[in-house]
Amino acid sequence: MSSIPTAPAPSEVYSLPQEHVDFRDAVRRLARERIAPRAGEIDRTGEYPWDVRELLGSHDVLALPFDEEYGGTGTGTLMLQMVVEEIAKACASSALILMVHELGTLPIQLFGTEAQKQRWLPRCATGEWSPAFALSEPDAGSDPAGMRTTAVRAGDEWVLNGQKNWITNAGVADFYVVFAKTDREAARMSAFVVESDREGLDPGQMERKLGIKGSTTGSPSFVDVRIPHENMIGEEGRGLSLALATLERTRLGAAAQAVGIAQGAIDYAVQYARERIAFGKPIIEMQGIQFKLADMETRTAAARELLYRACAMADRDEPGLAKYTSMAKLFASDTAMAVTIEAIQVLGGYGYVNEYPVERMMRDAKITQIYEGTNEIQRVVIARSLK
């Protein structure tokens, strides 16, 4: 019998320098004391939390995605996603502010010119500006090849026409990274920075969603929007590879958000189980509840380990990154959904009403299985790596 080939093992250790631990703990306190008390209201009103964004900017949280030379912390992916996790424990909508900060600027960081980086990144690092990532369309979600948005060269400018869909930060963003077909015959697309005040750009109607209600989601349209050639990111016709390289890393944000939601639900369920008396004793002393909590905690801890491993691989630019980021996103998001459902069960009827946060956490958890590439797509990526 021939030997079975095995994939090279990633490095075994991720490290957490003390300064990272200290910063994480500071964000944990910030989230608990300043963001958690706002989470229920943000969900009920569905309004974008400008105060939370200002809070994150003033505490250097929005500088996490960037290198020091552009005003960032230069602390890497692991530190970034640890902080996403901490914020998501308190409020998933608020965590999205930081997540899209990475998503909307990473194309510029990875493929932009030095002039583009100097133009857009420093003002994002301070929190003054916020970006958006405009790839999906009504008929092109998981299949970007179905894109219909076009960009036509007109001298030193490009003219954009088309419709995007499911765009986080629509109506809030100061600029959009927009993907458009620049060669219809070869079905090749390119990426552009489109400032929000460009004539012909309409952020569109905002969606009414099941969860993450404090994050705007819209369908921006582009009608004869003219942008200078210097706003093109990377090479003409290489937009798809640019998008995939971005999502390969930013889906770790969805994984971190999912881990945070799951841990937040566990923490609340444990607290409730300690205080809820039934049959003369706290329900946490009942084996049926204990087993639920044990499984919830174990699965979330496993998701966190996979997430942190993938983040460390990203920081070291190790091979096999796509497989590990897909596994982290897949497992963490499925975990968040399962854990939040169980948290509701622990609370019983109280879990089903919005006076308690676990029903919000369950609604917020669902999107982590869908955006940044559906979990079905993640399984495709993982399976292809095994061939």
Which amino acid belongs to residue 268?
A: Y
Average pLDDT of the chain, as a whole number: 95
Q: Across residues 223-236, what is the average pLDDT?
A: 98
Q: Is the pLDDT of residue 6 over 60?
A: no
Question: Residue 135: inside a domain, yes or no?
Answer: yes
Show which of 176, 209, 237 is a domain's final residue.
237
Percent of the chain whose pLDDT exceeds 70: 97
Q: Would you place residue 145 in the very low, low, confident or very high pLDDT band (cuts 50, 70, 90)?
A: confident
What is the CATH classification number for the domain harbouring 119?
1.10.540.10
Do 185 and 315 fall into the same domain?
Answer: no
**312 has pLDDT over 80:** yes
Whether 92 and 49 map to the same domain: the answer is yes
Res 13: pLDDT? 61
Nearest to 23 by CA among 69, 80, 72: 80
Q: Are 359 and 341 in contact (CB under 8 A)?
A: no
Report pLDDT for 142: 79
User: What would you measure as the largest C-alpha separation in the chain, in angstroms?
Assistant: 79
* Predicted local distance difference test score (pLDDT) of residue 8: 47
Is the pLDDT score of 309 beyond 90? Answer: yes
Domain with 321, as residue range(s), is: 241-385
pLDDT tens profile 353-364: 999 999 999 999
- Name which of 108, 124, 132 is nearest 217 in CA terms: 132
**Binning pLDDT at 50, 70 and 90, where does residue 5 land?**
very low
The Cα angle at residue 292 between residues 290 and 296, in degrees rounded to 5: 115
Q: Would residue 287 count as lying in a domain?
A: yes
CB neighbourhood size of 112 (10 A): 23
Task: Give the residue carrying structure tokens 């049926």.
Answer: 288
E strand or H helix at 218, and its extent?
A: strand 217-218
From the number of C-beta atoms within 10 Å of its C-beta (0-12, 13-18, 19+), residue 204 rates as middle
Q: For 191, list phi and psi in degrees, rounded to 5.
A: -115, 140
Residue 5 within a domain = no
Is 4 inside any structural domain? Answer: no
CATH of the domain at 283: 1.20.140.10
Q: pTM of this prediction?
A: 0.95
Query: CA–CA separation, 328 vs 143, rounded Å?
Result: 21
Gap between the Cα atoms of 251 and 307, Å rounded: 10
Is 372 among the residues known to form the active site?
yes
Q: What whole-number percentage of the chain has pLDDT above 90?
A: 92
- Residue 142: CATH number of its domain: 2.40.110.10
Grade residue 12 by pLDDT with cuts at 50, 70 and 90.
low
Q: What is the pLDDT of residue 146?
A: 83
For residues 13 and 19, the model is more confident at 19
* Domain membership flag for residue 3: no
Of 12, 114, 372, 376, the catalytic one is 372
Contacts of residue 32, defined as CB under 8 A and 6 or more positions apart, other chains included, come to 90
Q: Of 11 and 106, which is predicted with more confidence? A: 106
Q: Which of 190, 179, 318 is nearest to 248 (CA)?
A: 318
* pLDDT tens sequence across 181-201: 999 888 899 999 999 999 999
Per the structure, the count of domains in the chain is 3
pLDDT for residue 2 is more than 70 = no
249 φ, ψ (degrees, to nearest 5): -100, -40
Q: How many other CB atoms are there within 10 angstroms of residue 232's CB atom?
A: 22
Contacts by 8-17 with C-beta closer than 8 Å and gap 24+? 8/319, 8/320, 10/309, 10/313, 10/318, 10/320, 10/324, 11/312, 11/313, 11/316, 11/318, 13/312, 14/78, 14/308, 14/309, 14/311, 14/312, 15/312, 16/78
Q: Do 157 and 92 share a domain, yes or no?
A: no
Confidence at residue 14, expressed as pLDDT on a 0 to 100 scale: 80
Tokens of 363: 């609604």
Query: What pLDDT does 329 receive?
Result: 98
Q: What is the pLDDT of residue 74?
A: 97
Mean of the pLDDT values across residues 119-134?
A: 98
Is residue 8 in a domain? Answer: no
Q: How do residues 66-94 score in pLDDT, each as one tens digit?
A: 999 999 999 999 999 999 999 999 999 99
Same domain, yes or no: 199 and 138 = yes
Contacts of 321 (CB under 8 A, 6+ apart): 248, 249, 310, 313, 314
27, part of any domain: yes
377 and 245 co-located in one domain? yes
Asked whether the predicted pLDDT for residue 11 surpasses 70, the reply is: no
Domain membership flag for residue 7 = no
Residue 345 sits at the vertex; the CA angle it makes with 339 and 346, to the nearest 5 degrees, is 90
Same domain, 219 and 268: no
Q: Out of 12-21, 85-94, 109-118, 348-357, pick the least confident.
A: 12-21
pLDDT (tens digit, 9 = 90+) per residue, 33-74?
Answer: 999 999 999 999 999 999 999 999 999 999 999 999 999 999
Q: CA-CA distance, 274 to 282, in Å (whole number)?
A: 6
